[in-house]
Structure 1
Amino acid sequence: MSVEFDFSGKVVVVTGASGALGSTVANEFAKAGATVCAADVVEPESGTLTAGVHFYEGDFTDEAEVESTFEKIVADHGQLDALVNIAGTWKGGTPIDETEVGTFDMLFNVNLKTMFLASKHAIPHLKETKGAIVSTSARASLEGGKGDGPYRAAKAGVRLLTETIAEENNGVVRANAIMPSVIDTPQNREAMPDSDHDTWVKPAEIARVIMFLCSDAADVTSGAAVPVYGEA
């Protein structure tokens, strides 16, 4: 069964848009007719984003930059209908008693603080359009594990903030999270060459779930954490 979305007339912001997942999500929304504002701290490589996607460079751990980016987006395009928080990173390999505080801060800043700041400054605009937020948590956020505790804790924070935003804006702005595991990207294939790549979920498959959660088809869904890890 094929699924088609129509986001014509909608303005969508995607953070972390220079990465493999973020760029795919931005491109899929653009294919569905959305005006896509792709945001990241680094510019995407040439050809990463399709023609017509508008790129906004900004450090989303810096509140002043986040606020000014959203003000510019709304000034440029007149409204905001959806925010997709993709910005994030993973780092692990050490137990808590050997983890540098700088690593802890970096993981919480990139995974949680960006989601908090983007959501904070998007919500006033989303209230005007009864829009939606989709944020990226992780399957790993559901339980503790060895070697990547700060990452798991930050992604658990994304889930809890999502539930809070949904409660605080019930009936006005919908907020949901997705929970991927290992995503089928060139970087992950290079890092884990001996893994069963056929079980990994492709970025385009995750993008379709995100688009559903931003669409009218998900009008009654808010505060959810949706698994998108397939067999991974």
Structure 2
Amino acid sequence: MKRRLEGKVAIVTGGGAGIGEAICKRFAQEGAAVVVVGLDTDPVREVVDDIQARGGRAIGFLGDISRQEAAEECVKLALHDFGKLDILINNAGVFPATAELDKYPVEAFEYMIKHNIYSVFMMSRAALPHLQKSRGNIVSAGSEAGQMGSPMITPYGGTKAWVMTFSRGLAVEQAKHGVRVNCVGPGPIDTAWTHKETGPMDSKMEKNTVNGVPMGRRGTPEEVANVYLFLASDEASYVTGATYFVDGGVTLSKSLSGEEVPAHLKKEPTDGLHLQHEKDGHTKVKSEYQAKMQ
């Protein structure tokens, strides 16, 4: 049976950790050659090595793809090593702070604009000429917060709303070139972002985030990667301008309905992708970038 991405070449930004690691490994499983993209401090090399050790094809690219030069270099690397580009996954993003808006750190807001918005714009712009040749597609990371808005992370939700609206406009614009553009909107996923020990949430926010999920649990990175796989594959050939929420029903919920779910239904499915970096997400303004933002 032919694998769903056999012969395809994909760039996955933010591919070294969390959902990005799962996307890279799921795509490689399904036959894609993957460019794993991350910042210098991300475990990109480990993800590439693990994919290659399991018989997949992958290379790494380290750089700040919110910068035009780095985005263009990333695309050039994919073309140089694999000869073409079929899929761009704009997964890179940051979640550096939680606070009411009058106390929200300005540097955290600027950091999100850079890594949640500029990166999507720059990578999409650099990739489009080549996706037009291959009649490829783009899938970007939205969020349930971009659909509903969320207190204490209002600026984050705003950046994700931008990505979702940008993707809809781009889908209409690029349809005449045979390029599809879609979004995935994760809800609370079992990564560094949704645990108080590894992200900016306090214990109350973490508890309410999980209890607000009708299914009563966090999703797994692999569950999100499976939806990316569908949208990036030819199975979704008539899907463009869509946002697929992978949120356990959060966008439909108006209460802490997850509290009513029995314990045996809250158990996460077993991870089949050998993920090692799901808790290594981008949850603070990295010190080496603070000076560059001044």
What is the TM-score when the length of structure 2 is the normalising length? 0.73
Whether 1:184 aligns to 2:190 is yes
State the alpha-carbon separation in 2 of the partners of residues 225 and 23 from structure 1. 21
SS of the equivalent of 1:200 reads: coil
Aligned-residue offset at 1:117: 0.8
| Structure 2 gap segments, 5+ residues each | 251-294
Specify the structure having the higher radius of gyration (Cα).
Answer: 2
Shift of 1:145: 3.0
What residue in structure 1 maps to residue 28 of structure 2? 30
Closer/same/farther in 2, CA of residues 75 and 28 from structure 1, 3 Å limit: same
The 1:205/1:173 distance shift into structure 2, 3 A limit, reads: same
2:18 is the alignment partner of 1:20: yes
Matches within 5 A, 1:183-222: 183-185=189-191, 188-189=194-195, 190-191=197-198, 195=210, 199-222=217-240
Distance 1:187 1:158 in 2: 19
- Are residues 126 and 45 of structure 1, via their aligned partners in 2, closer, same or farther at CA, if it must alter by over 3 Å? closer
Corresponding position of 2:82: 77
Quick check: 1:168 aligned with 2:173?
A: yes
Residue 101 of structure 1 and its aligned partner are, at CA, apart by 2.2
Determine if contact 1:181/1:229 at 8 Å carries over to the other structure.
Answer: yes
CA–CA distance in structure 1, aligned partners of residues 221 and 181 of structure 2 = 21
Q: Are the structure 2 counterparts of residues 32 and 228 from structure 1 closer, same or farther at C-alpha, using a change threshold of 3 Å?
A: same
Q: How far apart in 1 are the matches of 2:68 and 2:247?
A: 31
Contact 2:44–2:60 (8 Å) recurs in 1: no
Q: CA deviation at 1:205?
A: 1.1
In the TM superposition, residue 46 of structure 1 has moved relative to its aligned partner by 6.0
Identity within the alignment, %: 30
Count of residue pairs brought into register by the alignment: 230
- 197-206 vs 158-167, which deviates more? 197-206
Deviations 1:144-193 (A, max 9, x none): 33221110100000001101110110141100001111111366344568
Indicate the larger mover: 83-92 or 46-55. 46-55
Q: Whole-Å Cα distance in 1 between the matches of residues 140 and 146 of structure 2?
A: 13
Deviation larger for 188-197 or 170-179: 188-197
Aligned to 1:61: 66
Classify the secondary structure of the residue corresponding to 2:21.
helix
Root-mean-square deviation (Å): 2.2
Of 154, 158, 162, 2:159 maps to: 154
**Matched position secondary structure for 1:53:** strand
Within 1, Cα distance between the matches of 2:136 and 2:74? 18
Structure 1 counterpart of 2:60, one-letter code = F
The 10-residue stretch of structure 1 (97-106 or 120-129) with the greater mean CA deviation from structure 2: 97-106
| In 1: Cα distance, 2:71 partner to 2:47 partner | 23
Unaligned runs of 5+ in 1: none
Helix, strand or coil at the partner of 1:199: coil
Q: TM-score, normalised by structure 1?
A: 0.91
Q: 2:13 is matched by which residue type in structure 1?
A: T
